[in-house]
């Protein structure tokens, strides 16, 4: 009998994601999104699925080659609104549960997203982008043949590009509107030269909550305030007076309390998010997790799941209690909280909870869960007893033909004796008595977290015969505010020592690692750290740096976040070139002896490709062993949401570089 092989790069085409589960108002049915990859079209396809909790048989409700997202039940449970690209631009459609064709209810020039039902079920609020001269009734332009007219981009602001959006149309702004379903009439609720982000409609129908940064100089502002718009009077009032960054709004059933996440940014972008309440009756802002030293929300980093939507705080019908997501110790959990101040975990296992939808009357939930050996499925969980029933098994048939590595958790002392957490995977073909090469993986962020979730790249390396070591050094979320803040101003210091301590621990405690054949790789901050490591030690025999940072001085002006990120993270701007250069891996290029593969995307605006170009040219000029791979039509998210064929080629390059040199 032939042994099962491990995961291969091409297997990406066979794996599916399920995400964004939404429970019906009566708690008996769910809709969710399933995403797969179309090999012929080299793109993603996502569809709406339905499941009744009595027969538990998934049914596909949308078809074709479009992308579907953001499903939302109507208040009476008779319809589902969703976003689809079937007509080109994303638009909002409404589908009756009883059957029939979905009806397109928006025809906006630049698309429409984020549908939010009114409590009466007769209107849907949504988000759209409008130019200064655009009418809300302007419809998408017909595709033209031939060359598109080239126009220069006039730039007056520093925030003129983003990795997600590319070069931005500085005359377009995100606004909030409403469509009346019976007539198709549209009503614009916000206007002006700022971006407004739709939140949630109060259950009594009186208010729409939204967030916005209305600072006079958005280039130097990093707040996002909470506002209430009175639907009848169209008047807005500000609830948070420029004190922080807030998002993910939800309401208590009686419309008295708003719940949302965010922080006062005491540690800039290293600040753990808190759970906040606003008492509308008392006009009082309350931090519900002020003494809770964990990040509220999701900081898990991965390379597989598609369509994940961060779950909002969700209330029970008693108007006193709620559930919310927490990042903690390599897992994401669901916690219970109430107005009396109680906080405790309802779901806290070694896993990644990446979505949930609450049955407010029965204290049950549909929960999306990933583990290291299951990319992701939906489960029906009793939040009081923990009783769990699996509802989907979207990858089970394929994974039965593959062998998966099971990580083992480790804990060791890092720099200054701090406790550091991580994992090791044995090779798929592990046999006692043999020696295997080890690869150290370093996550990006740096304020993110590796954890108890499926990671495709790790499985591919384990299938090739490598031991995979991945850890959460200081700077990572999941281990308290002091830990996550400790990397700022110290890039390449104690974070580097934490990572070297991880390798030392592995070599000292695992007898099947070949201590000579060591590799290292990482992306973004992990790419910076890979560059730093090979410039400061010769213990690694091969390295792959991905979407990396090599020179903080040039990064300041070319990254979409550079002009403030260096101040926040390196504690230096252009007034302190010496400190920026001290923390730049390029400074240490003469020390690099490790064969280095450089992977970078052409359209990466977060860590622009000039960072890779500088490093490559410096290495080649010094006759160092290196190769530079440039991925077209891709941004910083290549490894997670890039074109499927390019993602597969990226994985192949990484695997083969380590195979050749280790």
Share of the chain above pLDDT 70, in %: 99
Spot the catalytic one: 69, 84, 524, 559.
524
Q: What is the pTM of this model?
A: 0.96
Write a three-state SS string for 5-39. Answer: EECCHHHHHHCCEEEEEEECCCCCEEEEEEEEEEC
What residue segments make up the domains of the chain, in order of their start?
Answer: 399-661
Is 114 tagged catalytic?
no
Residue 143 has pLDDT above 80, yes or no: no
pLDDT category, 654, cuts 50, 70, 90? very high
Q: Which of 197, 477, 583, 636 is catalytic?
A: 636
pLDDT digits (tens, 9 = 90+) for 586-628: 999 999 999 999 999 999 999 999 999 999 999 999 999 999 9
pLDDT score for 133: 85
Structure confidence by residue, pLDDT tens digits, 151-183: 898 999 999 999 999 999 888 999 999 999 999
Q: What is the DSSP string of 102-116?
A: PEE----TT-EEEEE
E strands, 225-342, in order = 225-230, 236-238, 245-251, 257-263, 274-279, 284-287, 295-296, 314-315, 321-328, 331-338
CATH number of 399-661: 3.40.50.1820
636 in active site: yes
Torsion sign, CA atoms 584, 588, 589, 595: negative
With beta carbons less than 8 A apart as the criterion, state whether 269 and 447 touch: yes
Q: List, for residues 510-566, the tens digit of each pLDDT value.
A: 999 999 999 999 999 999 999 999 999 999 999 999 999 999 999 999 999 999 999
Which tokens sit at 653?
């390059």
Per-residue pLDDT reduced to its tens digit, 480-516: 999 999 999 999 999 999 999 999 999 999 999 999 9
- Give the tens place of pLDDT for each residue, 62-97: 999 999 999 999 999 999 999 999 999 999 999 999
């Amino acid at each position: 009998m032939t042994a099962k092989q491990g995961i291969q790069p091409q297997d990406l085409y066979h794996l599916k994601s399920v995400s964004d589960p939404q429970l019906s108002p009566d708690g008996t049915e769910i809709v969710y999104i399933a995403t797969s990859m179309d090999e012929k079209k080299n793109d993603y396809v996502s569809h709406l699925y339905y499941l009744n909790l009595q027969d538990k048989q998934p049914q596909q409700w949308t078809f074709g080659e479009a992308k579907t997202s953001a499903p939302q039940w109507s208040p009476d449970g008779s319809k589902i609104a969703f976003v689809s690209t079937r007509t080109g631009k994303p638009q909002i459609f409404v589908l009756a549960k009883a059957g029939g064709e979905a009806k397109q209810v928006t025809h906006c020039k630049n698309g429409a997203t984020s549908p939010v039902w009114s409590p009466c079920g007769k209107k849907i609020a949504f988000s759209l982008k409008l130019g200064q001269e655009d009418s809300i009734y302007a419809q998408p332009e017909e595709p033209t043949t031939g060359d598109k007219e080239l126009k220069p981009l006039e730039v007056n602001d520093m925030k003129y590009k983003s990795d997600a959006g590319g070069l931005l149309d500085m005359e377009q702004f995100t606004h909030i509107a409403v469509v009346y379903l019976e007539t198709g009439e549209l009503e614009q609720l916000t206007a002006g030269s700022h971006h407004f982000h739709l939140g949630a409609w109060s259950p009594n129908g009186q208010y729409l909550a939204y967030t916005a940064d209305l600072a006079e100089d958005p280039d130097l502002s990093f707040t996002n305030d909470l506002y209430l718009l009175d639907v009848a009077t169209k008047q807005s009032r500000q609830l948070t007076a420029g004190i922080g960054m807030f998002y993910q709004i939800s309401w208590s059933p009686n419309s008295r309390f708003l719940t949302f996440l965010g922080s006062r940014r005491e540690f800039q972008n290293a600040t753990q998010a808190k759970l906040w309440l606003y008492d509308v009756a008392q006009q009082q802002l309350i931090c519900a997790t002020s003494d809770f030293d964990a990040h509220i929300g999701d900081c898990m980093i991965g390379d597989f799941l598609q369509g994940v939507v961060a779950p909002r705080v969700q209330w029970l019908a008693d108007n006193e209690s709620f559930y919310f997501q927490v990042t903690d110790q390599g897992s994401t959990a669901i916690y219970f909280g109430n107005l009396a101040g109680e906080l405790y975990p309802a779901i806290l296992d070694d896993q990644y909870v990446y979505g949930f939808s609450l049955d407010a009357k029965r204290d049950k939930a549909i929960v999306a869960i990933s583990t290291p050996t299951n990319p992701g499925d939906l489960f029906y969980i009793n939040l009081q007893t923990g009783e769990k029933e699996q509802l989907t098994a979207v990858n089970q048939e394929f994974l039965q033909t593959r062998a998966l590595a099971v990580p083992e958790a480790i804990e060791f002392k890092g720099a200054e004796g701090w406790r550091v957490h991580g994992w090791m995977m044995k090779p798929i073909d592990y046999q006692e008595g043999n020696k295997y090469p080890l690869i150290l993986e370093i996550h990006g962020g740096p304020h993110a977290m590796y954890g108890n979730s499926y990671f495709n790249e790790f499985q591919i390396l384990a299938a090739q015969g490598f031991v995979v070591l991945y850890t959460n050094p200081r700077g990572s979320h999941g281990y308290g505010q002091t830990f996550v803040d400790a990397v700022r101003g110290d890039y390449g210091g104690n974070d580097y020592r934490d990572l070297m301590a991880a390798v030392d621990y592995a070599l000292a405690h695992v007898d099947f690692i070949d201590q000579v054949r060591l590799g290292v790789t990482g992306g973004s901050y992990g790419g910076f750290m890979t560059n730093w490591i090979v410039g400061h030690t010769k213990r690694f025999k091969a390295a792959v740096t991905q979407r990396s940072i090599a020179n903080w001085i040039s990064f300041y002006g070319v990254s979409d976040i550079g002009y403030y990120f260096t101040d926040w993270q390196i504690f230096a701007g252009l007034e302190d070139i010496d400190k920026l250069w001290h923390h730049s891996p390029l400074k240490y290029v003469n020390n690099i002896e490790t064969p280095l593969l450089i992977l970078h995307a052409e359209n990466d605006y977060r860590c622009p490709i000039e960072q890779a170009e500088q490093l490559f040219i410096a290495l080649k000029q010094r006759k160092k062993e290196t190769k530079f791979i440039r991925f077209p039509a891709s941004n910083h998210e290549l490894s997670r949401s890039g074109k499927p064929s390019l993602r597969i080629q990226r994985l192949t390059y990484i695997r083969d570089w380590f195979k050749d040199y280790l």
